Amino acid sequence: MLRHFNRLLITAVLVLTSASASWAQFMQLNGKRVLSDQKRGLWLCSIAEDNFGHDYEAVVTFDSTLVALNINGQEVSDSDNVVLPDINANTKLPITATLSDSTTIVGNLQFTFLPIIEYGGTFNKTTFVTVPFNIMRPDDTDIFALAAIRYRGSLTYYNAPEKRSYRVKFVDENGEKLDMKLFNGLRTDNSWVLDGGGADLIRIRNYVSAGLWNDMATKPYYAADEPKALTATRGQLVETFRDGEYVGLYNMCEPIDRKQMRLKKYDSETLAIHGQLWKADNRSQYTLMNTCAKNLPSGNNTAYNYFETKYPDMDEVKPTNYRVLHELLKLCAKADDETFAAQISNRLDIPAVIDHYIFLEVLLAFDNEGKNIYWGCYDRTTSEKLTLAVWDMDVSFGQDWNNANLHSNRVQPWTDLMQGFINHHRFLYRLFNLDVDNFNQKVNDRYHELRENELTNESLIERFTSVVDMLKRSGTAQREEWRHAPDKFSKQNINFDQELQYIVNWIPRRMEYLDNYVFVEHRIKRGDINDDGIIDIADVNGIINMILETTEATPIGDFNYDSKIDVEDVNTMINYILGIDY
């Protein structure tokens, strides 16, 4: 009965949506749908990149509602062959369309070589809503599908309503999940994320950061058994239309889940849990591993103090079991030093932890402190070791999450993530403080190894410049700037060139700081001007000398992290020495 109801509901959705004027197709060019935003006068078609840079010859076909068409001053009839001149990122060919109801639509025909996503509906954060979901692919056939969609995210959900992100699950006409191969190089699956990058002034920080992690990270501890395991997403940048309106640039990407990490499946016959996955959904003393529950948490709860159960799915397997996670927290928060040092490598994937710490230092990703991280166990019946996967890195490479000032002082290149990050994360603090198995030297050695390859200044900069160049060549960057002027989140215009220049200037200064002050044999503590291991009146005098320019100023003198060295640093240090809260 339920399946029959789902079929009727989905059929009704298709009928209602196809009847909407905003979803009208109007015309095709060489069989490629041309999408229209009538409100803004934009007509957009996705074609292969090799069609850019010269004239484009196309057969124009009408749908049943289109009766007359003029493109670039040329009257066009159904099935006519036309030559459209000089197709490039800035092409805007005047277009006038007359519909069967005598409506006239005017605008400009533009082209992209990114895929275009088309969807529409009324969505919420808790319930999946099934709607048509179409994908126009430049180098392949178009996809016309059904997808169950809901909103996802927090910051952008409330503060960037025009760039909200979505969870997308493809289904068949019966409402059953349907695996889809959308883009070359990405997995075949029913589950996807449509990420708007709404809190990011350049929209691609998360996309670039995930690519960096995939290239630099050591494979998880079980890689010999699962060589295809990934601990970050991969995605395809797309342009989007919702309810007949152009929305702009999105990243259609894979989610972090059991399949992405290749964790062992739940055994439905024996009811045995093998692979497990949790997401640190928000910062807490639990997700920082500073504390743990007194007793093993109940398996009937979907979350353990902001560790959200992701696999096995609680809708399918209940109760779950938190013992593997609980034992790690107990070891980090409660065990004596000897026990911690002896057992931590059996509980944590140490090479992954090292890479993750380096990664977050490079990105200055303070929004990933105790949150936006996945912890996965490959097969708890053979090993209870947890590895990690990265997620949601919009707040990185010199950007804050506070839209009042996205380039605030706390995201300057010399900001000391380590000081708070290690002290707050109990497992990191203890690994460094106890120097478990020569941990400190391993971190430094790994950093300098990566600095020769994935973490060179040139390589990091090229990751951004190459993507922005592609977005400009496709015209996508120009349309994103045009569509979001001003941007609802930042309250300013999006400017790819300006933000790219900021990042290009930020990266070498960040890496210089890490080279000289963080990943060194002997690390100088912020405020310890004379490097004697303590902060006292001698260091106050040292800051005064920097202010008076009798000695060279360095980031170590910026004791209050405001990106300046002045009398406020002196006052803050004096309060620190006197034990007054600062």
Distance CA(535)–CA(435), nearest Å, equals 23
Residue at 483 is within a domain: no
pTM as predicted: 0.91
Give the residue carrying structure tokens 């499946």: 265
25: confidence class by pLDDT, cuts 50, 70, 90: confident
Q: How far apart are CA 38 and CA 20, in angstroms?
A: 13
Q: How many CB atoms lie within 10 A of CB 13?
A: 16
Note whether 141 and 243 are same-domain residues: yes
- By the 10 Å C-beta count (0-12 exposed, 13-18 middle, 19+ buried), 90 is classed as exposed
Residue 564 lies in a domain: yes
What's the whole-number mean pLDDT along residues 167-175? 96
Buried b (16+ CB within 10 A) or exposed e, 244-261: bbbbbbbbbbbbbbbbbb
pLDDT recorded at residue 419: 66
pLDDT, tens digit, 9 for 90 and up, residues 102-148: 999 999 999 999 999 999 999 999 999 999 999 999 998 999 999 99
357 and 443 assigned to the same domain? yes
pLDDT of residue 523: 67
pLDDT at 24: 60
* Closest listed residue to residue 233, CA positions, set 56, 390, 357: 390
Residues 250 and 397 in one domain: no
Q: Which pLDDT belongs to residue 9?
A: 44
Identify the three-state secondary structure at position 32: strand
Residues 241 and 313 in one domain: no
The mean per-residue pLDDT over the stretch 435-463 comes to: 97
Same domain as 306, residue 263: yes
Which residue bears the tokens 């007054």?
A: 580
Residue 12 predicted with pLDDT over 60: no
Residue 553: pLDDT over 50? yes
Structure tokens at 427: 């497992």
Containing H/E element for 146? strand 143-152
Q: Let me know whether 355 and 439 are in one domain.
A: yes
The predicted-structure confidence for 223-240, as pLDDT tens digits, reads as follows: 999 999 999 999 999 999
Specify whether 246 is located in the same domain as 351. Answer: no
The C-alpha angle with vertex 454 and arms to 451 and 455, in degrees rounded to 5, equals 40
- The span from the CA of 513 to the CA of 519, in Å, is 9
**What is the span of the domain harbouring residue 556?**
537-578
- Among 425, 453, 481, the domain-final residue is 453
